[in-house]
Amino acid sequence: MFTSKITKIAVNILIILIAQNIFADDVFDGVSPQLGVVISDDYIEQIDFVVMPSGDGLPGGSGNAVTGKVLYSIHCMACHGPDAKGGINGDLAGGHGTISGPIPKKTVGSYWPYATIIFDYIRRAMPYQLPGTLSNNEVYALTAYILNLNGVIGEDELMNAQTLPKAKMPNSEGFIWAYSPSE
Amino acid sequence: MKETPDNINFAANNGLLDRRFFLKAGLGVGGGLMSASALSSEGKDRFPWMKQPGMPMGQSGPSRFEEHIKREGVGSQPGTTGSGASRTPIEYLDGIITPSRLHFERHHSGIPDIDPAQHRLVIHGLVERPLSFSMESLARYEHVSNIQFLECSGNSGAMISPKPLQRKASNLHGLVSCSEWGGVPLKILLDEAGIKPEGKWIVASGSDAAMMSRSVPIEKIMDDAIIATHQNGEPLRPSNGYPMRLFLPGWEGNACVKWLRTIKVTSGPSMTKDETSKYSDLRDDGIAELFTFPMGVKSVITSPSLSLNLTGPGIYQIKGIAWSGSGKIKSVELSADGGKTWAEALLDEHVLPKALTRFRSAWKWDGTPATIMSRAIDEKGNIQPTREQWFVGRAKNTFYHFNAIQTWGVNTAGEINNVYL
């Protein structure tokens, strides 16, 4: 009699637990406190820096290498050198054709697969001491200048959200994926 | 009968003893010391620190005699202080846990001083509900905790040098550490946000000055990725991502974005600077491999090693660490004759998946030149390659994911050098 009462209680608890989905396949479903606060598009706009190779995520604005050259001498040259070579913090130009040779020299121009990465990285991280201080127009212009130094575009070509993803990098065919989703 | 160096069995040439030698040999000692404490202190000696009460409580630093055990090889890009690395002093450590203050560092624009009250983790992109989480709310989620290694994929990169560099174990291989990482499985948070069917990758960005960012496939994220908030029982140290970092067990350290601020669910990788320009692996045909995430099976002899010289012929313990991004370490083999003969090392008790594993073995050095090396094998059957094997197919100056066997040469004076065979 005593045991049957316990069994009854146990069965009731089990039913409640099942109703609450605790035994569902996805164990987290029933127990997550669900405390995420839904955020607005405006907020996302402010914190989203992601640029995709397709150009998705690139902002409005534009710039060319002529303006970029001037900006480069003010904001970048001290660390990356004149014409983006021979500076203390790495070359951004040159090294073309060396990647499959005996001494590969990786620079933005000789190695990087997509032009969009230049915009993404400068907007996130450069100039090193004062990241986030350049306007989108300025970042486009600096990107255009680095592309021009590497012979990818002409000096007057305007880089913007439409043209930048189309700028074909010299080493764009030089990469394969080591990861496949089946791993 | 007690075993002595005269009647021991050797497990491989040049003095490698049976891996259980120390266990057996240890049984017979200690008997003579027990009775001394029963005597009164009259006529007995005391060290100075026994003659008065010691220091006040509440200190948390190491002994002043161990202050040399600190992060090694601190180096940053010219003109910067926060764009470089520091290394774990592996030659001085024991056990499988790296004390947090000694965990290696690799930063790209310094260590941010983040106020946790203002910090938010934002999940957005291809999700049903873009969400923001405060530290306070994350603390109410299910937490998991695992002991796992973290290794920079640039670790041991100095080993590609054509001539062996004479550096200590830490300065060659110290970009690896192992901690108990605690935090929230990222899957719980992504399920709450609701991933859209097109969502196949995430792009994680930190709130350091460089907003360091990496793309990670969704399969890994839903498998075992965590938002780590704790390391070895305490909140993360600022140099390890305080107040939160992405932690991807077994995968290269750079992808475990520190000071994590945003996770954008995307249809593919963003191809960030640190997954293309850096942390891509160039082959000898000029093609570079992207997304070489898992860290290979590897072992390092930490003692004897360069600067920890031998003091004369006799019995020594060869000690070291082994790990694999694919799971548990199955065995570690040791050679004292440059790889001609091998003996299995003893693995210490804690053999955990994707964690540092300790190995050791007794070795009788006879005073002649010796070359000692270790080779790890993991539970998936992956075998640590030789340096020669590792180079096959790779460009000459590529250095990421170096996991080849390293050799210490011992000369007649007991001095130890990094040698290539």
Write out pLDDT tens, residues B182-240.
Answer: 999 999 999 999 999 999 999 999 999 999 999 999 999 999 999 999 999 999 999 99
Name the domain boundary from B244, B261, B289. Answer: B289
Q: Given an 8 Å threshold on Cβ–Cβ distance, is A52 in contact with B270? A: yes
Q: Count of A–B CB contacts within 8 Å?
A: 174
- Please write the tens of the pLDDT for every residue from B334-388: 999 999 999 999 999 999 999 999 999 999 999 999 999 999 999 999 999 999 9
**CA A181 to each of CA B200, B221, B268, B362: distance values in angstroms, whole numbers, following the listed order:** 9, 12, 12, 44
Q: b/e per residue, B200-234, with b = 16+ CB within 10 A? A: bbbbbbbbbbbbbbbbbbbebbeebbbbbbbbbee
Residues in B closer than 8 angstroms to A164, CB to CB, are none
Residue B9, in any domain of the structure: no
Concatenating the DSSP letter of every residue in A78-118 gives HHH-GGG-S-TT--SS--TT-TTSSS----HHHH-SBTHHH
Residue B92, in any domain of the structure: no
Q: So what's the ipTM on this one? A: 0.90
Count CA atoms within 13 Å of residue B316 on its CB side: 24
Mean pLDDT (whole number) for B87-96 = 97
Indicate whether B136 and B191 sit together in one domain: yes
Question: Which of the pair, A26 or B71, is modelled with greater confidence?
Answer: B71
Joined tokens for residue B283: 């082959």
Flag whether residue A39 sits within 8 Å of chain B, measured between CB atoms: yes
Number of structural domains (chain B) is 2
Indicate whether B257 and B319 sit together in one domain: no
**Res. A106 pLDDT band, cuts 50 70 90:** very high
Indicate whether B272 and B329 sit together in one domain: no
Q: Given an 8 Å threshold on Cβ–Cβ distance, is A181 in contact with B137? A: no
Indicate whether B219 and B309 sit together in one domain: no
Residues in A closer than 8 angstroms to B79, CB to CB, are 79, 88-89
Q: Given an 8 Å threshold on Cβ–Cβ distance, is B137 in contact with A26? A: no
Residues in A closer than 8 angstroms to B122, CB to CB, are 39, 43-44, 47
**Res. B18 pLDDT band, cuts 50 70 90:** confident
Among A48, A104, A124, beta carbon nearest to B282: A104
Among B130, B262, B396, beta carbon nearest to A103: B396
**Res. B10 pLDDT band, cuts 50 70 90:** confident
Residue B317, in any domain of the structure: yes
Q: Given an 8 Å threshold on Cβ–Cβ distance, is B109 in contact with A125? A: yes
Provide the H-helix boundaries in B194-264.
218-224
Q: Given an 8 Å threshold on Cβ–Cβ distance, is B286 in contact with A100? A: yes
Neighbours of B134 (CB within 10 A): 16
Indicate whether B177 and B202 sit together in one domain: yes
Indicate whether B318 and B223 sit together in one domain: no
Indicate whether B202 and B252 sit together in one domain: yes
- Please write the tens of the pLDDT for every residue from B133-150: 999 999 999 999 999 999
Indicate whether B283 and B307 sit together in one domain: no
Residue of A nearest to B215 (CA): A50
Neighbours of B371 (CB within 10 A): 18
**pLDDT reading at A177 higher than 70:** yes
Q: What proportion of chain B, given as a percentage, has pLDDT over 90? A: 89
**pLDDT reading at A2 higher than 60:** no
**Res. A4 pLDDT band, cuts 50 70 90:** low
Name the domain boundary from B243, B271, B289. Answer: B289
Flag whether residue A120 sits within 8 Å of chain B, measured between CB atoms: yes
| Residues B361 and B345: beta-carbon distance below 8 Å | yes
Residues in B closer than 8 angstroms to A50, CB to CB, are 125, 203, 205, 213, 264, 266, 270
Neighbours of B20 (CB within 10 A): 13
pLDDT at B42: 80
**pLDDT reading at A17 higher than 90:** no
- Please write the tens of the pLDDT for every residue from B319-339: 999 999 999 999 999 999 999
Q: Rounded to whole angstroms, how far apart are CA atoms A58 and A62?
A: 11
**pLDDT reading at B21 higher than 90:** no
Q: Given an 8 Å threshold on Cβ–Cβ distance, is B133 in contact with A108? A: no
Q: Chain A: nearest CA to B272, how far in angstroms?
A: 6
What is the DSSP pairing of strand B245-247 with strand B234-235? unpaired
Q: Given an 8 Å threshold on Cβ–Cβ distance, is B142 in contact with A79? A: no
Indicate whether B324 and B253 sit together in one domain: no
Indicate whether B216 and B303 sit together in one domain: no
Neighbours of B44 (CB within 10 A): 8
Domain boundaries, chain A: 45-166
Best residue in A40, A106, A126, A146 for a mutation probing chain B (most B CBs within 10 Å) = A106
Indicate whether B251 and B338 sit together in one domain: no
Residue B252, in any domain of the structure: yes
Residue B259, in any domain of the structure: yes
pLDDT at A27: 45
Residue B275, in any domain of the structure: yes
**pLDDT reading at A29 higher than 70:** no
pLDDT at A140: 98
Best residue in A26, A35, A54, A76 for a mutation probing chain B (most B CBs within 10 Å) = A35
Flag whether residue A38 sits within 8 Å of chain B, measured between CB atoms: yes
Residue B50, in any domain of the structure: no
Q: Given an 8 Å threshold on Cβ–Cβ distance, is A177 in contact with B289? A: yes
pLDDT at A15: 44
Question: Which of the pair, B232 or B35, is modelled with greater confidence?
Answer: B232
Task: Give the CATH number of the domain where residue B347 resides.
Answer: 2.60.40.650
Question: Which of the pair, A22 or B307, is modelled with greater confidence?
Answer: B307
Joined tokens for residue B1: 């009968």
Q: Which of B32-36, B166-170, B181-185, B260-264 is the least confident region?
A: B32-36
Residue of A nearest to B128 (CA): A38
Residue B204, in any domain of the structure: yes
Q: Chain A: nearest CA to B121, how far in angstroms?
A: 9
| Residues B357 and B351: beta-carbon distance below 8 Å | yes
Domain of B130 in residue numbering reads as: 121-289
Q: Which fold has domain A45-166?
A: Cytochrome Bc1 Complex; Chain D, domain 2 (1.10.760)
